[in-house]
Chains A and B, each alone.
Chain A
Amino acid sequence: MMQLIRQELYKTFHRPRTYISFAIIAAIAVIIEVAMIADGRTFVDFALSGVTEQFDLQGNIINGYFVTYIILQSLIVNIPLLVALVAGDAIAGEAGLGTLRLLLTKPVARWQLVISKFAGSLIYTLALLLWLAIIALGLSLFLFGEGDMLNLKSDEVVLLLKDDILWRYLAAFGFAALAMTSVAALAVLLSVFSDNGIGPIISTMGIILFFTIITNLGLPSFELVKPYLLTTHMIGWKGFFSDPVPYDAMRDSALVLCAYTIVFVAAAIIVFNRKDIKS
């Protein structure tokens, strides 16, 4: 199994496509950082106008923690796509190449193949998030320094004190890793059904986008389904930036994410086991 996983990683990191994801993340993060350097005030004034109408805000608002939050906010929809880019291609891409057939003529169990693909996607995802942490948090702190962080939510503003923030980010990245794991699992599952790489990638993206809209649209009729949606719980990392941190809700979200992940992977194994490989 380790052999399989090692090979998966070798394959993934030898493809130019993989590095596109890292480049995209860097590009988005850097663009936002540059924008904040050039004209952060305008953005802050606009975003916080509801508050500044009634209160005076002074001090280092545009600091590393604040900018990082903005970057993460911008990437909420993008990261799942980048995860799907590799995970969705995992099995379907090889089917398209024809190499899946080749792999399956080897004395390797099918479930091992699925798990190794999932594990490979997982490690890639973690690498991606690590990269994000460096280029968003690391670079922002370097450029903008530390400071108290303002978190603007839909119905309140939260102020977090400077020394109380770093642990939140580390925890948030951890939670995000869990969320992206479930996305990877979904992508791998869809990958089993297809014999070309593009289909599962787009399907995964479509599903995530669709349910993101339902989660965020706020229509009363959606409230019923919301707790069951993957996308509702994926955003759990934001809970770390609340005061107080809703640990109960987040623990539940984490469990839901785990459940989804397990279901997706199990389904992938079951379907793949029964599948006839014709291409």
Chain B
Amino acid sequence: MNPFIRCIFSFIVLLLPFSVEAQQLSADDLFLKLRSRLEGVRDYVADVNMTIDVSFMRVPALKGKLYFKHPDKLKLERNGGIAILPRKSVSLTLNNLIPSGRATVIDAGQETVNGIRARIIKVIPETDESDIVLTRIWVDEHRLLALRTETTTRESGTMKMDLRFGKFAHLALPDQITFFVDVKELKLPKGVTMDYDAGGTDMVKKKAAKKSNKGTIRINYLSYKVNTGLSDKIFADPVKE
């Protein structure tokens, strides 16, 4: 063969794998890259502003400090004030939604999430140990960030959350997370609570609101301090004992 042609040929041959890579990671690889990026965050302290929009709760915006430690410690500190977090928040940390260990990852198409094109991957853990049965992750490939997750668990139903990234995208940390929760109606007998019946329009509004049994909890992150080495003691919660 012509040495020149051989050169070009080998060049093309060498070039091919690179372009394939640049074009498309395997679902598996995408998942692994995403996960390792997230695992770069061992802990953080964030100033947050939380709003809760659930039919049976009237809660004003809660300001506080959100503490996180890998893999699953989460606490909202409000100067002794009361903090309300979704029950399954412990397992709602991003990390747990993205299973550790071996998993089968499948491509599940593409979808636009909040105006950004995302690639959906389905992750099924291979072990039976974790609570997670299946997670769907909408990944912004370009920035390597998870924009949305939907996790089906054995014990606790399905959890869904959206993430928005801005200032802290380089840390793979969102500046807003929205949890979508299913809620059950709260009902206590009036004879026990002896409520003041404000009557009239109040009742009509309430009846309308009750129809929805979906609520959202939105956390806005205002600042982060990452990987400062938080001790476990911070998460010891007298209330939980």
Chain A residues close to B by CB (< 8 Å): 50-61, 73, 76, 145, 147-148, 150, 152-162, 164, 212, 215-218, 226-227, 232, 235-239, 242-243, 246, 249-250
28 sampled A-B residue pairs with Cβ under 8 A: A50-B187, A50-B188, A52-B87, A54-B183, A55-B57, A55-B85, A55-B87, A58-B76, A147-B80, A147-B81, A150-B82, A153-B193, A154-B190, A154-B193, A154-B195, A155-B56, A155-B187, A156-B55, A156-B186, A157-B56, A159-B82, A212-B194, A226-B197, A232-B197, A235-B195, A242-B198, A246-B196, A249-B202
**Which residues of chain B have C-beta atoms less than 8 A from A162's C-beta?**
81
**Which residues of chain B have C-beta atoms less than 8 A from A250's C-beta?**
198
On whether the beta carbons of A155 and B196 are closer than 8 Å, the reply is no
We find that the number of chain B residues with CB closer than 8 angstroms to chain A is 44
Q: Report the minimum CB–CB distance from B68 to chain A (whole Å).
A: 14
On whether the beta carbons of B196 and A236 are closer than 8 Å, the reply is yes
Please report the C-alpha to C-alpha distance between residue A217 and residue B189 in the assembled complex, in whole angstroms: 9
Give the residue name and chain of the A residue nearest to B185 (CB): A155
Please report the C-alpha to C-alpha distance between residue A218 and residue B192 in the assembled complex, in whole angstroms: 11
**Which residues of chain A have C-beta atoms less than 8 A from B183's C-beta?**
54
Q: Which listed residue (A54, A57, A217) contacts B191, Cβ 8 A?
A: A217
Q: A57-B239, A156-B56 are in contact. List 9 more A-B contacts (CB 8 A).
A: A50-B186, A54-B181, A56-B89, A59-B78, A154-B193, A155-B188, A155-B206, A212-B194, A232-B197
* B83 CB–A CB distance under 8 Å: yes
Chain B residues close to A by CB (< 8 Å): 55-60, 62, 75-76, 78, 80-87, 89, 181, 183-200, 202, 206, 210, 237, 239-240
**Which residues of chain A have C-beta atoms less than 8 A from B190's C-beta?**
154, 216-218
On whether the beta carbons of A157 and B57 are closer than 8 Å, the reply is yes
* Total cross-chain contacts (CB, 8 A): 139
Q: Which listed residue (B60, B184, B199) contacts A227, Cβ 8 A?
A: B199
Give the residue name and chain of the A residue nearest to B63 (CB): A161
Q: Report the minimum CB–CB distance from A255 to chain B (whole Å).
A: 14
With contacts A216-B194, A238-B195 taken as known, whether A54 is within 8 angstroms of B188 at the C-beta atoms is no
**Which residues of chain B have C-beta atoms less than 8 A from A150's C-beta?**
82
With contacts A50-B188, A58-B240, A243-B58 taken as known, whether A159 is within 8 angstroms of B193 at the C-beta atoms is no
Please report the C-alpha to C-alpha distance between residue A232 and residue B190 in the assembled complex, in whole angstroms: 12
On whether the beta carbons of B84 and A61 are closer than 8 Å, the reply is no
Q: Report the minimum CB–CB distance from B195 to chain A (whole Å).
A: 5
Please report the C-alpha to C-alpha distance between residue A104 and residue B240 in the assembled complex, in whole angstroms: 67
On whether the beta carbons of B195 and A57 are closer than 8 Å, the reply is no
With contacts A60-B80, A161-B60 taken as known, whether A53 is within 8 angstroms of B184 at the C-beta atoms is yes
Q: Which listed residue (A148, A158, A212, A226) contacts B81, Cβ 8 A?
A: A148
**Which residues of chain B have C-beta atoms less than 8 A from A145's C-beta?**
80
With contacts A51-B186, A226-B197, A239-B198 taken as known, whether A58 is within 8 angstroms of B57 at the C-beta atoms is no
**Which residues of chain A have C-beta atoms less than 8 A from B237's C-beta?**
58
On whether the beta carbons of B87 and A53 are closer than 8 Å, the reply is yes
Please report the C-alpha to C-alpha distance between residue A200 and residue B179 in the assembled complex, in whole angstroms: 58
With contacts A56-B87, A57-B239 taken as known, whether A249 is within 8 angstroms of B199 at the C-beta atoms is yes
On whether the beta carbons of A159 and B84 are closer than 8 Å, the reply is yes
Q: Report the minimum CB–CB distance from A136 to chain B (whole Å).
A: 17
Give the residue name and chain of the A residue nearest to B78 (CB): A59
Q: Report the minimum CB–CB distance from A267 to chain B (whole Å).
A: 27
**Which residues of chain B have C-beta atoms less than 8 A from A58's C-beta?**
75-76, 82-85, 237, 239-240
Give the residue name and chain of the A residue nearest to B86 (CB): A55
On whether the beta carbons of A147 and B84 are closer than 8 Å, the reply is no
**Which residues of chain A have C-beta atoms less than 8 A from B240's C-beta?**
58
On whether the beta carbons of B194 and A73 are closer than 8 Å, the reply is yes
Q: Report the minimum CB–CB distance from A268 to chain B (whole Å).
A: 28
